[in-house]
Chains A and B, each alone.
Chain A
Amino acid sequence: MKKLIPILLLTFLIGYFASCEKDDICVDGDTPLLVIGFFDAIDTTLSKDVPALRIKEIILDSIVNTITDRSSSLDSIVIPLRIDATSTSFAFITNSADDAETEAETGDIDTLTINYESREAFVSKACGFVGNYDNLSITLPESDDNWIQDITIVQQTIENSTNIHVKIFH
Chain B
Amino acid sequence: MSRYFTSLFVIFLCFSAFGQDKPIDLQPKDTIEYKQEYGLRVGIDLNRPLLSFLDEDYTGFEIVGDYRLTQKMYLAAELGNEEKTLFEDVGNSPLYNYTSSGSYIKLGIDMNTYENWYGMNNAITVGGRYAFSSFSQTLNEYTIFDSNRFFNPDGFLVGAQEGEEFSGRSASWLEFVLGLKAELFANIYVGMSARLGFLITNSEEERFPNLWIPGFNRITDGSNFGVSYNYSISYFIPLYKKSKKKKEEVPEEE
Contact = CB atoms under 8 A, between A and B. Distances in A.
B143 A129 contact: yes
Nearest to A127: B145
B220 A21 contact: yes
A22 B221 contact: yes
Contacts of B95: 127-129
B168 interface: no
B148 A130 contact: no
B114 to A, nearest CB: 7
Given A3-B124, A64-B150, A125-B88, A120 B220 contact: no
Given A22-B220, A124-B221, A127-B95, A83 B88 contact: no
B146 A130 contact: yes
Contacts of B145: 26, 29-31, 123, 127-130
Interface string B123-157: 01010000000000000001111111111000001
B196 interface: yes
B124 A4 contact: yes
A10 B126 CA distance: 12
Contacts of A80: 146, 148, 150-151
Nearest to A23: B221
A29 B161 CA distance: 20
A104 interface: no
B250 interface: no
A46 interface: no
Contacts of B113: 3
Contacts of A29: 145
A54 to B, nearest CB: 15
A33 B148 contact: yes
Contacts of B227: 14-15, 17-18
Nearest to B208: A122
Contacts of A130: 144-146
Nearest to B88: A128
A123 B95 CA distance: 12
A26 B148 contact: no
A18 to B, nearest CB: 4
Contacts of B220: 21-23
B156 to A, nearest CB: 9
B196 A60 contact: no
A26 B113 CA distance: 44
A21 B227 CA distance: 12
B178 A10 contact: yes
A60 B222 CA distance: 41
Nearest to A66: B148
A141 B180 CA distance: 76
Contacts of B180: 7
B221 A125 contact: yes
B85 to A, nearest CB: 15
Given A21-B220, A64-B150, A66-B150, 8 more contacts: A4-B124, A30-B147, A31-B148, A66-B148, A80-B151, A122-B206, A125-B211, A125-B219
Q: Which 8 A-B pairs have the closest CB atoms?
A: A18-B227, A128-B95, A31-B146, A23-B221, A11-B194, A80-B148, A128-B96, A80-B150
17 contacts: A7-B124, A7-B178, A17-B227, A22-B221, A26-B145, A31-B145, A65-B149, A83-B144, A120-B144, A120-B159, A122-B206, A125-B211, A127-B95, A128-B88, A128-B96, A129-B144, A130-B146
